[in-house]
Every structure is written in C-alpha cells, then in structure tokens.
Amino acid sequence: MQFQLKDKTILVTGGTSGVGRALTERLRHENRVIVLGRNPEKLQALASTCPNVETIEADLANLNAVRSAIHNIRDMGALDVLINNAAIQHTPLFTDPVFDPNSITEEISVNFTSICHLIHGLLPCLEAAGNARIININSALGLVPKTSSAVYCATKGALNILTQSLRYQLEGAGIQVQQAILPLVDTAMTTGRGSGKISAQDAAQAIIRGLEKDVPDNRVGKVKLLMILHRISPALAARILKGA
C-alpha cells in the first residue's frame, strides 16, 4: 500500500524557491505544509501567494536559530513528513584567490549539521505521527564528486551515509528514512552552470512519486544512468563528473 500524501503535516526546508517551492506548491492543496526558510521577504511572498502555507524564519547556518525553529515546530504537534531540502553550494576551488574559508562552516552547517539537529530535535513529533517519513534531498555529487564545490560534494556524501545509518536506527520507531538523489536541476543555485537540467517541477514530481512508493534511494533521471556507469566503470564515471 502506498504512503498517502493527503491530510499530512509536512515540513519543507528551503521551501521558498527551486525544488522546495515546487514541492510546497504540489503538496499544499491536500496537506498542512510548513516551510522553513531564512529569507523573510521570500517567506512573506510565499505566504501571500499560498495563504494556507505556514512559514518559519530560520537561518540553518545558525545553530541557535535551528534550535529555536525546532522548539516552534514541536509546539505545532505531530509531524508526518520531514523534507530536508535546503542546501547551499559554493563553487570556488580551495586554490582560488577568491576562496573564502568562512564558507566552509556555513556550507557544512546548512547542508549537513542542521539536518542532523532537525532530525534529532523533531523525532518526538515524527514518532507521535506514527508511520512518518524523513526524506533527504541529495545530489548525484554525493555519490561521484566533481572538481569544484568540494565541500558541497562532501556534505552530500555525508548525507548519503547519514540517511542509510538512520534507516537502521529508526527501523523500530515507525519512521522511514528515504533520500531522493537528484541530477542537475534548473534552479537559482545552478544558474550559468551545466546543461541538460531537469526542471524544479519535474524534480518535485519525482520526489513525491518516490515518497509515495516508499523508495529508499530514489535515483532521479540521469542519476540512474550514472549509477549503472559507476558499476561498470567507476573510473569513467569519475572522469565524467570531474569536469561537470
């Protein structure tokens, strides 16, 4: 039996733009959707366009803000689905003169540390719902890295392992842990980079389909081909992604 995304309480991080916004738009009609974001103007614009969506302002790079958000979400009651979608990506190489070492902590905090805290802090809400879902939005770069965005690739690799380990830990808690592994998606983050992108709407549709079908590791689009290639020739897959 499929997981029914109807009459559920769903938290989406980074839900004001890109894939997160597309997920919010699709899920809000038959569910209670709460969006966590850091930009107050974007949150206000979302609330104006989608008045039935609840919003919480929090910068995931700030651990105190994450703790405050967890406290606020706990007050809202049971949580059926946690979608960890928010992420940032810095492209300079460590060897570039413009590389800012301060970006390392920010990127790790948003892409990985905050996710760990959100999952741990919201476990009581997820357990209260019964048959809940955690879905981490991941990237092909967490499986095979590229040259630039080394910290981003590392955080996505860590997210892949975290997802698998938590899947074991929460087997008896009534919480399923999934991930959607995306190819290059046409969002503000990827402006001017790459080709053959899928739209945020198509990505959201694939994520929801995998969530409903309880796919543990939902490899979307070209990621399926990448994994086949990686099994046949890991060296070739690495060369292709190296210059991506």
Identify the band that residue 241 occupies on the pLDDT scale cut at 50, 70 and 90: confident
141 in Cβ contact with 130 (< 8 Å): no
* pLDDT, position 123: 97
Rounded Cα gap, residues 135 and 13, in angstroms: 11
Report the candidate in 75, 61, 53 with the shortest Cα–Cα distance to residue 122. 75
Q: What is the 3-state secondary structure (H, E, C) of the chain?
A: CCCCCCCCEEEEECCCCHHHHHHHHHHCCCCEEEEEECCHHHHHHHHHHCCCCEEEECCCCCHHHHHHHHHHHHCCCCCCEEEECCCCCCCCCCCCCCCCCHHHHHHHHHHHHHHHHHHHHHHHHHHHHCCEEEEEEEEHHHCCCCCCCHHHHHHHHHHHHHHHHHHHHCCCCCEEEEEEEECCEECHHHCCCCCCCEEHHHHHHHHHHHHHCCCCEEECCHHHHHHHHHHHCHHHHHHHHHCC
55 within a domain of the structure (yes/no): yes
Count of structural domains within the chain: 1
Confidence band for 188, pLDDT divided at 50, 70 and 90: confident
pLDDT for 229: 86
> Which residue segment(s) compose the domain that 14 sits in?
9-242
Look at residue 1 in the predicted model and tell me its pLDDT.
Answer: 65
Query: Quick check: pTM over 0.85?
Result: yes
155 in a structural domain: yes
The whole-chain average pLDDT of the chain stands at 94
Region 37-65 average pLDDT: 96
Task: Tell me whether residue 82 is in a domain.
Answer: yes
Each residue's pLDDT tens digit, 222-233: 998 888 988 899
CATH of the domain at 147: 3.40.50.720
Percent of the chain with pLDDT over 70: 97
Q: Is 128 exposed, middle or buried (0-12, 13-18, 19+ CB in 10 A)?
A: middle
User: How much of the chain exceeds pLDDT 90, in percent?
Assistant: 84
- Identify any residues that bridge with 35 across adjacent strands, giving them in sequence order: 12, 55
Residue 26 lies in a domain: yes
**Domain annotation covers residue 176:** yes
Task: Establish if 2 belongs to a structural domain.
Answer: no
Residue range 71-112, pLDDT digits in tens: 999 999 999 999 999 999 999 999 999 999 999 999 999 999
Report yes or no on 1 lying in a domain. Answer: no
pLDDT tens for each residue of 129-162: 999 999 999 999 999 999 999 999 999 999 999 9
4 in a domain, yes or no?
A: no
Question: Tokens 């995931």 identify what position?
Answer: 60
pLDDT at position 226 is: 86
